[in-house]
Amino acid sequence: MKAAILAKFAEVFGDNEGTRAYFAPGRVNMIGEHTDYNGGHVFPCALTMGTYGVARKRNDQTLRFYSINFEQLGIIESSLEDLKPYKEANWTNYPKGIIWALGQRGMELPVGLDLLLYGNIPNGSGLSSSASVEVLTGYILRDMFGFDVTNQDLALIGQFSENQFNGVNCGIMDQFAIAMGKEGHGIFLDTADLSFTYAPIKLQDAKIVIASSNKKRGLGDSKYNRRRSECETALADLQKVVDIKSLGELSEEAFEQYKYAIQSDVCRKRAKHAVYENQRTIHAVEALQNNDVKLFGQLMNASHVSLRDDYEVTGIELDTLVEEAWKVEGVIGSRMTGAGFGGCTVSIVKNDVIDTFIDSVGKAYAAKIGYAADFYVVEIGDGPRML
C-alpha cells in the first residue's frame, strides 16, 4: 500500500520528494452506543482497515488536499490564512479542522502542506472514516512539525475540531478508539473521566463481521444532535431530584427510582437507553474477561433492541440486517454500531457459518431494501503509525 500511495502522490503533485507515509485505523464499537456523550462506558476497537496518508511540507502558506476516494474532486486548495469550514471544501474540512484546532492550542503551522489520502473504510458506513482522517492528520502534523501532544491529546483535538469546526456534537469515543487502538484488544473507556483499560477480545472460533447498509447519512444534519439534546433535557430534570453530573452515574435501579422526574416521555426513553446501555457495556466486558462470549453476544442483541425501541436510531435498513443475522445459526450476537440512521451492524459469527451468514443476510436485505449490503470480515488492529 505504501508504494501505491507514494506513486499516486507523485502523479498528483509532480513528485514525492520529501514525503512521509502514515496510517490511522477505523474503529467499530462492539457495545456501548450513544453512551459516550452521556458520561457512560464504551467498548470500541481499532480495525486493520483505515486511512492512509502521504504528506510533505511546502514553503508557502498553501494547503493542497487530494483523496483517491474522491478523485472526481481533484486537488482541493486552501490556505493557512483561511481556516474556515466551507461546504465546497467537502472532506477537506476534516484535516482543515485539525490544523485549526491545533492553532487554537497555540500550535500553528509555519508552512502549508500537500496531503494525499486513501481510505479503505466505506464512506458513511459508521466505521468512523471522519475520525480516522482527523487522528491521522493530527498524527502527521505532530510528526512533521514536532508538536508536543500525546495520542490521547490527538483524540481530544479531533473531537474538539469535529464539535467546533465541523458542527457535529460527537462524543470522544471514535477519536479515542482510533488514537489508542491496540491489536487484539477492545478499549473499555469511561467517557466521564477518560480512564480506560484494554480488554482482550478472544473469540475462539468466531470472527467479527461488519455489514454496511449502504444507506448514506450525514451526521451533522441527522437526528444525532437532537438525541443529544433529549438526553440533556432528561439529565436536567433528574438533577432536580438526584445529585448526578451525567446519566452514566445512574444504575438501572436508581433510574427506575427517579425516572418520574423526567417530564417528557420521549426524553425518558432516551435516558433509559443511556443508563441501561452503560450497564450492559460494563457487564459485557466482564463477560469477555470470564471467556463468556455467549453472554457478550446476548448483551449485544439487547443493545440493538434498546437502540431500536428506546433510542429510535436504527431504521428499517439496520433492523433488517440485525433481524436476519439473528436467524442464522452460529451468530453469537448482532447489533447496529455507530450513530445509527444507516451505517453498519457488527456481528460475532462462528467461522464455519460466515459464508452462509453473508449469503443469507445479503439476499434477505437486498430483497427487502432494494439494494445490496456490503460485508467485511475484520481484524482488530493497532492505533496510528508511520509506514
Residue 98 pLDDT greater than 50, yes or no: yes
- pLDDT of 126 > 70? The answer is no
What mean pLDDT, rounded, does the chain reach? 94
User: Higher pLDDT residue, 291 or 204?
Assistant: 291
| pTM of the predicted model over 0.85 | yes
pLDDT in tens, 375-384: 999 999 999 9
Size (the chain), residues: 387
Q: Return phi, psi of residue 44, to 5°.
A: -90, 170
pLDDT digits (tens, 9 = 90+) for 23-59: 999 999 999 999 999 999 999 999 999 999 999 999 9
Q: Residue 109: its pLDDT value, please?
A: 97
Helix (H) or strand (E) holding 336: strand 331-337
Pairing state between β 62-67 and 76-79: antiparallel
Please state, in angstroms and rounded to a whole number, the distance separating the CA atoms of residues 290 and 272: 27
Q: Where are the domains of the chain?
A: 2-198
Class of the CATH domain delimited by 2-198: alpha beta
C-alpha closest to that of 173 among 273, 40, 288: 40
287 — pLDDT class (breaks 50, 70, 90): very high
- Which pLDDT value is given to residue 220? 45
- How far, in Å, CA of 298 to CA of 326, rounded? 11
Share of the chain above pLDDT 70, in %: 97
Q: pLDDT > 90: what percent of the chain?
A: 90
Residue positions annotated with a catalytic role: 174
Residue 75 has pLDDT above 50, yes or no: yes
Per-residue confidence band for 17, with pLDDT thresholds at 50, 70 and 90:
very high
**Whether the predicted pLDDT of 129 surpasses 90:** no
Q: What is the arithmetic mean of pLDDT over 311-329?
A: 96
Residue 87 CB partners (closer than 8 Å, separation 6+): none
| 70 touches 22 (CB < 8 A) | no
Q: Which residues pair with 209 in a beta bridge?
A: 347, 377
